[in-house]
Amino acid sequence: MPLKELPELTLSQSAMSVLEAAEAENRLSLVGSVAELVEAAAPVDQRDAAGYYTVGYDIPGKGFIPEAKVCEVKNGIAANYLDPYMRRRDPNCMVIGDNRETDKPRYEDRFGEAFDGLRQETFEWLKTQPLSCFFFETGSKDDPIRAVAICPTNAAFFALGLAMLQGIVPLEKVRKAGSEYFHKAILYIAPPFRHTHFEGKQVVVHNRRFDDMGSDGNTTTLHELFSYNLYPGPSAKKGVYGMLLTAGERDEQPWTTAHCSTVQVITPYDNTTTIMHEGASGGGKSEMLEQMHRESDGRLKLATNLITGDERFLTIPRACELHPVTDDMALCHPDLKGPDERTRKVTLVDAEAAWFIRVNHITRYGTDPHLEALTTHPPGPILHLNIDTVPGSTALIWEHIQDEPGVPCPNPRVVMPREYYPNIVDAPVTVDIRSFGVRCPPCTIEKPTYGIMGLFHVLPPALAWLWRLVAPRGHGNPSIVDTGGMQSEGVGSYWPFATGRRVDQANILLDQITDTTDTMFVLIPNQHIGCWDVGFAPQWTVREYLARRGSSKFRDSELVEARCPLLGRHRHTMQVEGQIIGTWFFDVSKQPEVGETAYDAGAEILFDFFKTQLAKFDSPDLSANGRKIIDACLQGASVSDYDDMIKV
């Protein structure tokens, strides 16, 4: 459909000038379906002799620089970045191009000049390129954020990922809506600027502005996002996430989009428990939606002792049935109504149309038969990133591209439309258990660390809020370009994607937690419990246990206070399907390889981390109760102290 077929469309003057320039030279493709982008991702007439289509750009003074090789496979499209740096999200990629309130680095401060010049330079470059443009909507169904994406046509694989993740609006719907279909957000994709302006680094600029909307003379708030790279993580996914967080801050009744997976867990006895699992990148959000990874004999390996080599297994004959709800982004809008409006629990719905699934842990056939079958024979095409495959073959999610010989990429991904998932839940759900995942290193007498968390901990709501403020990214993160050590992803673990101020998001989260105290809050580590290597077994074990137990709160006699008050309370032992999990999986100080001295040293590391991160919320705009909770933490509050700060 040519642009003239949308005569009443109201776009910002900047966007319209770009599209009109492309259409004047017959270089504009208005796209209304994912199928069109699948076809454009690896154009048949532009493939090389082996069947690959190379995405790249002529860079002044550097010649042609290839960005990615794309090919068509039997189960969709596969794209591989030629620069290993581009296979993961750079945590420092976001900058703010406007002068509105923010705690994030501003473009002007980082690069020494106002963003307006590069903004205009980006428009001028786009006007010279063949372009693809499509419309999508995100956020509340009743009042969505309508958005436009403008992308170089040769990067159609990137546009495909964006369209899958966010959905795509048929052009006929846009035409029929006419002047009423105005946009609140726009994405501009300009990959060469990574090389010409940013020394090869990923940069994404958020520009929140008031913009002239054209013919009617009115102005509206417009969220512009400029993506100067072709990895979807910082822009097509987390960039749009930032748009949602910004929208939530602006509303009269503020709300947030939680960084979490959500699953309805149905026990063999037909009881349903809804679990919302939050956490920084690598915190186990995708794994919460997976069936447990069993050994060949059907058992679950719970743990392997790194010192002695001892192993512990669980036999769970029949696992719970899983009905996925969200994978990474959950809209917690105040207008959402769950099945039971009488409870004080979080209600949420998925904010995405597809899921950006990391598969680095699937290293061979049979690791996760459910996901392997779904990605090998999907109902329709999917997008594979960093998967080693060849044109015309079937892309297999355990075949990871190598960053260098013998070193597989730690961040292979598939973009999977949620409609492909069996038992997917589309309606809003009410959350019974709200868990938080943390990647933990091993902790031993010889090397004390913060890896002192037990199998799971039950947190008072006030302490649960603090964990969301500090949101540790933790040990061995596979999803981003890591800088080592214990890092924080900040408020809600979504702070890397937010454009505003920490204190505003902290207040929004505190109000949400205070209003939903019927939800149970738990903390679940992964990778290590003390000196035991556990992978994601704690999540799967705790999910099975809590679902069977139900969502009722624990009695006081069932829990003991953790030696480290930041860890709330824990069980002494736990029985799962008749098998006892012993005390040293709950109280790491009881492990002979750790002991109380190393545990206390690890607790001090954790407390120092909390002190450093909580100092960032020292603002007069923090709510009175929020300040009270933080001050109590810094003074070494007990678990009982936290109980009194938000009454259940």
User: Could you give all domains of the chain from N- to C-terminal order, each with its CATH number?
Assistant: 3-42+85-250 (3.40.449.10), 256-346+431-645 (3.90.228.20)
Confidence bin at 484 (pLDDT 50/70/90):
low
Give the tens place of pLDDT for each residue, 405-419. Answer: 999 999 999 999 999
Would you say 33 and 135 are in contact if contact means Cβ atoms under 8 Å apart?
A: no
| 278 contacts 259 by C-beta, under 8 angstroms | yes
Beta carbons of 157 and 195 less than 8 angstroms apart: no
Give 554-577 pLDDT, tens digit per residue.
998 999 999 999 999 999 999 999
Comparing CA positions, the residue from 496, 432, 510 lying closest to residue 467 is 510
Residue of 253, 223, 254 whose CA lies nearest to 241:
223
Computed from CA positions of residues 557, 560, 565, 566, in that sequence, does the dihedral angle turn out positive or negative?
A: negative
What is the Cα–Cα distance from 226 to 93, expressed in whole angstroms? 11
Residue 217 pLDDT greater than 70, yes or no = no
Q: Which two tokens stand for residue 370?
A: 């459910």
Per-residue pLDDT, 435: 98
For the chain, how big is the Rg over CA atoms in Å?
A: 25
Determine the pLDDT at residue 480: 53
Condensed to tens digits (0 to 9), the pLDDT of residues 147-163 reads 999 999 999 999 999 99
Beta bridge pairs of residue 350: 330
The SS3 assignment for 383 reads strand
Decide if 26 contacts 153 (C-beta within 8 A).
no
Of the candidates 213, 204, 208, 203, the one whose C-alpha atom is nearest the C-alpha of residue 249 is: 208
Strands 204-212 and 94-96: parallel
For residues 158 and 189, is the Cβ–Cβ distance under 8 A? Answer: yes
For residue 286, give every residue at least 6 positions away whose Cβ sits within 8 Å of its Cβ, in sequence order, or none.
Answer: 261, 327, 328, 355, 357, 358
Q: Per-residue confidence at 143, pLDDT binned at 50, 70, 90?
A: confident
Give me the pLDDT at residue 185, please.
Answer: 94
- For 372-400, letters b (16+ CB in 10 Å) and e give bebbeebeebbbbbbbbbebeeebbbbbb
The residues, any chain, with a CB within 8 Å of residue 532's CB and separated by 6 or more, are: 303, 304, 305, 306, 312, 442, 585, 591
- Lowest-pLDDT range, 176-180, 189-193, 359-363? 176-180
* Model pLDDT, residue 10: 80
Confidence at 339, pLDDT banded by 50, 70, 90? low
> Which amino acid belongs to residue 525?
P
